[in-house]
Amino acid sequence: MAAGSSFGSLFKVTTWGESHGKAIGAVIDGCPALLPLSEKDIEPFMKRRKPGQSEFTTKRNEDDEIMILSGVFEGRTTGTPISLMINNKDQRSKDYGELKEVYRPGHADFTFDRKFGIRDYRGGGRSSARETAGRVAAGAVASKLLKTLGVTVLSYTKSIGDIEISSEFDENEIFKNPFYMPDGQAAQRAGEYVKGLMEKRDSAGGVIECRVFGLPAGLGEPVFDKLSANLAKAVMSIGAVKGFEIGEGINAARLTGLGMNDPFINENGTVKKATNHSGGTLGGISDGSDLILRAAVKPTPSVSALQQTVDTKGNPRDLSIKGRHDPVIVPRAVVVVESMVCLTLADMLLLGMSSRLDRIIDFYNPLG
């Protein structure tokens, strides 16, 4: 039985652990040797995902300290599996005791029961957002690999509810506000909006945008393993994500062919596109333009307002969820989306090395 906890082909990542277990983590198999790597490279990613960053995130007190258990020697990767672990220190399983026999609306309780016949009701186990800590740790390693190849990834919050950033994009503003928005005024309005929902014991969702710079043309396979398709699977595998689009996305259905097509131009001997409605892919293959994608994140399902549900025997119940929960998961999900994009690109860059015979010959240089 395939348990669905692994992602990737050559740069393969397996996450493990539960929300209220002793620890969570990830194992990376296929990372090339000689990549400089230490815990300090991973810590900035973990800090962006960790709880307790602001009044808009859960108060669960986890420092998310990362430990590299294997695969690194004298500060460089060895080419063998890299095992990453984060200890859980602030579980409060008692907060979930009353949920043992109740299905929470918007959560995976019911579906886990139907699939496995058993579920970890303490925060959802593997279905908890805490599982993403392992993804982020692995994503940090993939990000460093990409940077050595000249590929960088920038992710941020595009909107919270119906409050969207303006066209005056300020990259320096992203890390100055609790929503990771490149627009300080929009972030302020978002804060007021979320505070109003918190007073009503409700929650908010939003949209995360991700831009990739320096990605070479020719990445991706033309049929089932399109770059866009693999990115969609990666991003949609995040529990809170309910929608994915690349380039114009859904808006493409409203355009005409002339409005959607990107004209090609010759710029100093280099073929480029004059526009980028396609979002950096053509035929499922990267075209050398900036890769632009978005993820729609649903409102946090754990709300303290009274909701209707049933217990495991089908009896009607009124439920008010207690415990520590994010009134909006979007800010902490920004780095999760970025991590899944990095993991996808690292894997596909390695896969792309074997797509042309001339490049294989150049690599092995049999006559040299």
Strand partners, 273: 264
Enumerate residues 6+ apart whose C-beta is below 8 A from 187.
173, 177, 178, 179, 181
Helix axis angle for 227-236 and 330-352, nearest 10°, is 150
Q: How far apart are CA 33 and CA 349, in angstroms?
A: 15
The pLDDT of residue 122: 78
pTM of the predicted structure, to 2 decimals:
0.94
What's the N-to-C CA distance of the chain in angstroms?
46
DSSP secondary structure of 218-236: T-S-SSTT-HHHHHHHHHH
The pLDDT of residue 90: 63
The pLDDT of residue 359: 87
The pLDDT of residue 1: 43
Which residues of the chain carry a pLDDT beneath 50? Answer: 1
Distances (CA, A) of 260 to 210, 243, 264, 267, 318: 20, 21, 13, 21, 49
The pLDDT of residue 59: 60
Cα pseudo-dihedral 134, 135, 138, 141, rounded to 10: -130
The pLDDT of residue 61: 61
Q: How far apart are CA 251 and CA 298, in angstroms?
A: 20
- Topology given in CATH for the domain delimited by 6-364: Chorismate synthase, AroC fold (3.60.150)
The pLDDT of residue 367: 63
